[in-house]
């Protein structure tokens, strides 16, 4: 039985190696080889998506996936234990930036599990400074593959993102980075929340789920795209491309540049809408 497995492995390795008879000239050529491998059943579809995701992560910066400052859930440094517990339970998160008077004054990170020490010793006086972990600050231009490596080596799971003026721009977690590789991770709390199809980011950028209904998209962006032929924005965008686009493909439409963030060989999953500058919009208008 062991010999048979060894022979099968050698056959698989030979077939896979044959695809690389010519060295790929660039990343796109490499991805095309991997997709051919999946078509020949040498790669599992989920494995291909993760490989593409890992390659895709090296092209993204923290600003592309961070939680914007206005959406951060924080703990005030003078909050009472009961108030903190309410925030923890309501949000379902496990880590929280601790702030002074404004969200620009982050003094540390509070882990929900560290509150257990206080409740295990009710006679001990509560002092949030004794529970906080040091906050890690990173620039919004940092590459995601570099950040993931730092998360792994430092064992931190959250970082505070700062802009070019050293102001707080948002936060990012290790889960945010991993989701770019393997897809969205849902837990029990996510299932309880109302589904969000369109998320606003800094610099007039929006991530839009392909399953977003046309009428919801129109209402959000004040557009009038017809929903007679397409029920979702994903269907409309596929028609705009004229084919099923692959991850990383871009196209200009109206006032947006649209980039495919996540897709497989059957459908598009996630899109990035970035508002064009006025000069770029004028370039689209025929003479």
C-alpha–C-alpha distance, residues 46 and 38, integer Å: 10
- Reported as a pLDDT band with limits 50, 70 and 90, residue 14 is low
- Reported as a pLDDT band with limits 50, 70 and 90, residue 285 is very low
* Mean pLDDT, residues 186-207: 68
Those residues whose C-beta lies under 8 Å from the C-beta of residue 208, and which sit 6 or more positions away, are 197, 198, 199, 217, 233, 270, 271, 272, 273
Strand, coil or helix: what is 205? strand
C-alpha–C-alpha distance, residues 60 and 205, integer Å: 14
Q: For the segment 263-281, what is each residue's pLDDT rounded down to a tens digit?
A: 776 788 889 999 987 545 4
Q: Yes or no: is domain 194-284 CATH 1.10.1740.10?
A: no
Q: What is the pLDDT of residue 19?
A: 53
* Mean pLDDT, residues 244-265: 86
* Mean pLDDT, residues 178-185: 76
Q: 174 is written with which tokens?
A: 């290790």
Q: For the segment 78-102, what is each residue's pLDDT rounded down to a tens digit?
A: 888 888 888 888 888 889 999 987 7
Q: What is the pLDDT of residue 281?
A: 45
- Reported as a pLDDT band with limits 50, 70 and 90, residue 31 is confident
* Mean pLDDT, residues 245-274: 86
Q: 173 is written with which tokens?
A: 């977690």
Q: Buried b vs exposed e over 32-59: b needs ≥16 C-beta within 10 Å?
A: eebbebbeeebbeeeebbebbbebbbee
- Reported as a pLDDT band with limits 50, 70 and 90, residue 287 is very low
The CATH homologous superfamily for domain 64-178 is: CBS-domain (3.10.580.10)
Delimit the domains of the chain by residue range.
26-57, 64-178, 194-284
Those residues whose C-beta lies under 8 Å from the C-beta of residue 16, and which sit 6 or more positions away, are 37, 42
Higher pLDDT among residues 287 and 26, named by residue: 26
Q: What is the pLDDT of residue 194?
A: 52
Q: What is the pLDDT of residue 166?
A: 84
- Reported as a pLDDT band with limits 50, 70 and 90, residue 64 is confident
* Mean pLDDT, residues 63-67: 86
The label of the residue with tokens 């909050």 reads 79
C-alpha–C-alpha distance, residues 258 and 275, integer Å: 9
């Amino acid at each position: 039985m062991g010999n048979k497995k060894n022979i099968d492995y050698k056959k698989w390795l030979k077939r896979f190696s044959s695809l690389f008879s010519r060295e790929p000239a660039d990343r796109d050529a490499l991805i095309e080889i991997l997709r051919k491998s999946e078509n020949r059943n040498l790669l599992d579809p989920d494995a291909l998506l993760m490989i593409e995701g890992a390659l895709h992560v090296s092209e993204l910066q923290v600003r592309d996936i961070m939680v914007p400052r206005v959406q951060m859930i924080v703990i005030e440094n003078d909050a009472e234990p009961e108030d903190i517990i309410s925030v923890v339970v309501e949000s379902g998160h496990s880590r929280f930036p601790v702030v002074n008077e404004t969200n620009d004054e982050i003094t540390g990170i509070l882990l929900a599990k560290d509150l257990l020490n206080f409740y295990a010793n009710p006679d001990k006086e509560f002092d949030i400074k004794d529970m906080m972990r040091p906050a890690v600050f990173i620039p919004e231009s940092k590459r995601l593959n570099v950040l993931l490596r730092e998360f792994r080596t430092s064992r931190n799971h959250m970082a505070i993102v700062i802009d070019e003026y050293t102001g707080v721009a948002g936060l990012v977690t290790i889960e945010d980075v991993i989701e770019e590789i393997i897809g969205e991770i849902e837990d029990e709390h996510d299932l309880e929340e109302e589904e969000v199809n369109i998320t606003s980011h800094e610099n007039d950028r929006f991530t839009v789920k392909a399953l977003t209904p046309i009428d919801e998209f129109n209402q959000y962006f004040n557009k009038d795209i017809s929903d007679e032929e397409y029920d979702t924005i994903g269907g409309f965008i596929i028609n705009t491309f004229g084919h099923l686009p692959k991850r990383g493909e871009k196209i200009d439409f109206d006032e947006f540049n649209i980039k495919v963030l996540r897709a497989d060989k059957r459908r598009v999953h996630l899109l990035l809408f970035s508002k064009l500058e006025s000069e770029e919009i004028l370039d689209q208008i025929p003479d």
